[in-house]
């Protein structure tokens, strides 16, 4: 079975054991690594049976996919950042680099404010584009959260802080989805396998490092572990009741703004 996830340390940490045969799986699993927006677009095609995806994209795909309880990215203090060369008073008429129109980062920025001009580019190209003046500001995710000061940039907005102040809930970023046509029994087995893979990584963190470095944008171990400790947490083991409420609130707000359509299907494997 093909599993898609990003190059980022949180994903390679979580899935190391699963794709290296360290934990039992219902099917042999092979990995396909791509940036999150590519995975989002593939999900609209139904290309992968099991895939990491932005919650914003999942809001449009609930008829085809269901979110596993394990392996996702939610939390506090983990939100996308808006950065620029100098402080920015408002978003109106600003050219803002975004990591994809289907990303949760872009959905959050759209819920926060309007009147800006999005410029879509791959997430790892945003910081250089802001530094060079190609755009007025950049919406950054992944390792860029830890490295933007190296580019001489300043934080304009922390969308995680905004979300938490607005809702009191953790911020939902990405989920692991299974295609509903796999059937409930297979999906439950895959959910258990993903959780087991993360538990293995927690028990053997140093063993995962070579695999993580094979794909990481930043190879400094300090950055790698900061990334993992930020994005991998109790919600990654199980989304939990609070995580479910956070996702439901994101979808409620997006539906109210016409960003996604409503669905009566459950968001998560129950």
Indicate if 20 belongs to the active site. no
Q: Return the structure tokens found at 110.
A: 């759209």
Burial (0-12, 13-18, 19+ Cβ within 10 Å), 39: buried
Integer CA distances (angstroms), 259 to 95, 126, 251, in order: 21, 24, 9
Crossing angle between the packed helical segments 240-256 and 104-112, to the nearest 10 degrees: 60
Q: Of 48, 55, 47, 57, whose CA–CA distance to 71 is shortest?
A: 55
Pairing outcome for strands 73-75 and 117-120: unpaired
The 10 Å CB-count burial string (b at 16+, else e) for 134-156 is: ebbbbbbbbbbbbbbeebebeeb
> Catalytic one among 20, 142, 204, 229?
142
- What's CA 143's distance to the chain center, in Å? 12
Any idea which residues carry the catalytic annotation? 142
């Amino acid at each position: 079975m093909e599993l898609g996830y990003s190059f980022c340390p949180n994903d390679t940490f979580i899935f190391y054991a699963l794709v290296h045969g360290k934990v039992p799986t219902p099917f042999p699993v092979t990995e396909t690594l791509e940036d999150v927006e590519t995975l989002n677009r593939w999900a609209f095609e139904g290309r992968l049976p099991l895939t990491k995806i932005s919650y914003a994209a999942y809001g449009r795909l609930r008829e085809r996919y269901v979110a596993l309880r394990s392996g996702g990215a939610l939390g506090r203090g983990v939100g996308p950042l808006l950065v620029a060369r100098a402080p920015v008073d408002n978003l109106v008429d600003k050219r803002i680099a975004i990591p994809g129109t289907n990303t949760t980062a872009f959905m959050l920025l759209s819920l926060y404010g309007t009147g800006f001009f999005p410029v879509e580019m791959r997430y790892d190209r945003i910081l250089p584009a802001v530094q060079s003046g190609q755009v007025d500001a950049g919406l950054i995710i992944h390792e860029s959260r830890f490295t933007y000061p190296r580019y001489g940039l300043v934080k304009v907005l922390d969308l995680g802080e905004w979300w938490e102040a607005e809702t009191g809930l953790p911020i939902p970023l990405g989920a692991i989805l299974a295609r509903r046509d796999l059937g409930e029994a297979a999906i439950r087995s895959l959910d258990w396998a993903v959780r087991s893979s993360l538990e293995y990584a927690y028990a053997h963190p140093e063993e995962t490092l070579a695999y993580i470095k094979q794909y990481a944008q930043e190879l400094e171990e300090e950055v790698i572990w900061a990334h993992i400790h930020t994005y991998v947490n109790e919600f990654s083991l199980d989304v939990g009741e609070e995580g479910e409420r956070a996702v439901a609130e994101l979808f409620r707000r997006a539906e109210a703004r016409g960003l996604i359509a409503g669905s009566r299907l459950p968001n998560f494997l129950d």
